[in-house]
Amino acid sequence: MLVPVVLAGGVGSRLWPVSRAALPKQLVTFPQIEGSLFQNTLQRLSGIADLADPLVVCNEEHRFLVAEQLRQLGISKSNILLEPFGRNTAPAVALAAFAVQSQSVNVNLLVLPSDHAIQDVEVFHKLIETAQKYASDGKMMTFGIVPGCSETGYGYIQKGSVIDDGNAYCIQKFVEKPDSETALGYLESGDYLWNSGMFMFGAGVYLDELKLHAPDIYEVCSKAHAELRREADFEFIPSAVFTSCRRESIDYAVMEKTERGIVIPMDAGWSDLGAWGALWELGEKNQQGNVISGDVLAEGVSQSYIQAQSRLVAAVGMRDAIIVETADAVLVADKARAQSVKQIVDQLTRSKRSESENHTLVRRPWGSYESLAMGEGYQVKHIVVQPGASLSLQSHNHRAEHWTVIKGVALIRCDDKEFELNPNESTFIPLGNKHRLTNNGSETVELIEVQVGDYLGEDDIVRFDDRYGRS
């Protein structure tokens, strides 16, 4: 049996301003791709024999987004393993291996990042079949991408001795992202493959090798697994235990040290979509070599990527440019410097600016809200509550709220009162009052919320009851 382990815990900061901490790139739908990258990762597994239900490893903060995207694919039988914080791939896969091994001992894991694109699915499937034969012999496989250029944005794997007439190789070493001169040398040598971050091995084999080469990670993950808290489809990893786990990749924790490791070359139109230049390469280009989506006017622009989400974008006299517009931010970059967008996100994070974390549209398990206007002492939001959903029973220490329903019927609780609000009706929620909004109808409830107070941050919430398990 083959269990897909989908790693969905990354942030994808190089694709800011579309990819952000609260909605990372693997959960975003880009104009060039139907569905999210996460959904595409699962869909391209269709047709593989003896495939079990997927196991997804992601951040706690993204659990409802992940669950909803699985639901959209009709995948109901999945396990979602929740990290309180990221510790890189070696611990994440260890937790998955413990979870799988507790159910069956003869299981192979297919470890897949959730933010990659693969164009030739048939080749991908054939290589998985090949890898399963090696896994049956106790080998540990990684898939190395046949390089098409001297790319500096990828890690590399140096091939060792040949196995099976070139179908596989021993792993000589893993190499971090090189400079341009070194990358060119790697390409010309023919001895290096791009590191895809995809692996296959037996769950027990991985844990044995992890215990041998990184016993500290093994012990922490073993204890964390023993103390998992299960709630519906979610398995919560205890933060008190996991915090002591060091950050380490599978590459260096196990694969570079094990005597079981081999690399299988893959040439299947792979991309990790790590920067905006990759979206340009993937997209359909016009006569000027531009990839354009949204409301865009271009004059004298060539070989560029322009994406508009919420307004008109006009560009004049540019070449090899990246322009990405969202409701609250615009990125303009030289295509050759697209990897450096991460430094902008680092600046935003250090400055504690919300643009690094959230879009103006913020998704919640009950629906979404969008900030429409904000000033000194006030904020206006558009709130959408899905049928059957409910906000938490809560109060605020610093703000009062005015609610006006514009669609649907909202059931309101405010302290000891309970009543319905229909379209064009409104109510006032005084500061400190316990309140809740519930949608018991079959259509969405939409309302305009006006907040008034001396502090309007999202952390000004005291929850008394929440059906989604939030504190």
Residue 309 is predicted with a pLDDT of 96
Q: How far is CA 68 from each of CA 27, 64, 364, rounded to the nearest angstrom?
A: 10, 6, 11
Q: Which tokens is 231 given? A: 């709630």
Residue 121 is predicted with a pLDDT of 96
Residue 276 is predicted with a pLDDT of 96
* CA–CA gap between residue 66 and residue 8 (Å, rounded): 9
The dihedral region occupied by 128, where left means phi > 0, alpha psi between -120 and 50, and beta the remainder, is: alpha
DSSP three-state, residue 256: coil
DSSP three-state, residue 330: strand
* CA–CA gap between residue 56 and residue 68 (Å, rounded): 13
Q: Give φ, ψ of 99 to 5 degrees.
A: -65, -45
Residue 442 is predicted with a pLDDT of 96
Task: Mark the ranges of the chain whose per-residue pLDDT is less than 50.
Answer: none
Instruction: Give the 3-state secondary structure of 380-441.
Output: EEEEEECCCCECCEEECCCEEEEEEEEECCEEEEECCEEEEECCCCEEEECCCCCEEEECCC
- Calculate the CA 136 to chain-centre distance: 31
Smallest CA-to-CA distance from 132 within 91, 89, 168 is with: 168
- Calculate the CA 333 to chain-centre distance: 23
Q: What is the pTM of this model?
A: 0.90
- The CATH 3.90.550.10 portion of the chain extends over 2-271
* CA–CA gap between residue 242 and residue 224 (Å, rounded): 6
| pLDDT tens per residue, range 216-243 | 999 999 999 999 999 877 999 999 999 9
Q: How far is CA 39 from each of CA 49, 64, 74, 145, 203, rounded to the nearest angstrom?
A: 19, 14, 11, 22, 24
DSSP three-state, residue 32: coil
Element (H, E) at 8: strand 2-8
The amino acid at residue 317 is G
Smallest CA-to-CA distance from 155 within 174, 171, 137 is with: 174
Element (H, E) at 57: strand 55-59
Residue 164 is predicted with a pLDDT of 77
- The CATH 2.60.120.10 portion of the chain extends over 361-465
Residue 10 is predicted with a pLDDT of 85
Residue 231 is predicted with a pLDDT of 85
CB-CB contact of 57 with 9 (8 Å): yes
The CATH class, in words, for 2-271 is alpha beta
Residue 101 is predicted with a pLDDT of 87
Residue 186 is predicted with a pLDDT of 94
CB-CB contact of 282 with 32 (8 Å): yes
* CA–CA gap between residue 41 and residue 136 (Å, rounded): 24
CATH number of 361-465: 2.60.120.10
Residue 464 is predicted with a pLDDT of 95
Tell me the DSSP string of 66-97: HHHHHHHTT--S-EEEEESS---HHHHHHHHH
Smallest CA-to-CA distance from 221 within 243, 201, 203 is with: 243
Residue 76 is predicted with a pLDDT of 79
* CA–CA gap between residue 323 and residue 335 (Å, rounded): 9
Buried b / exposed e over 96-116, threshold 16 CB at 10 Å, is: bbbbbbeeeeebbbbbbbbbb
Alpha helices in 155-237 (DSSP H): 180-189, 203-213, 215-226
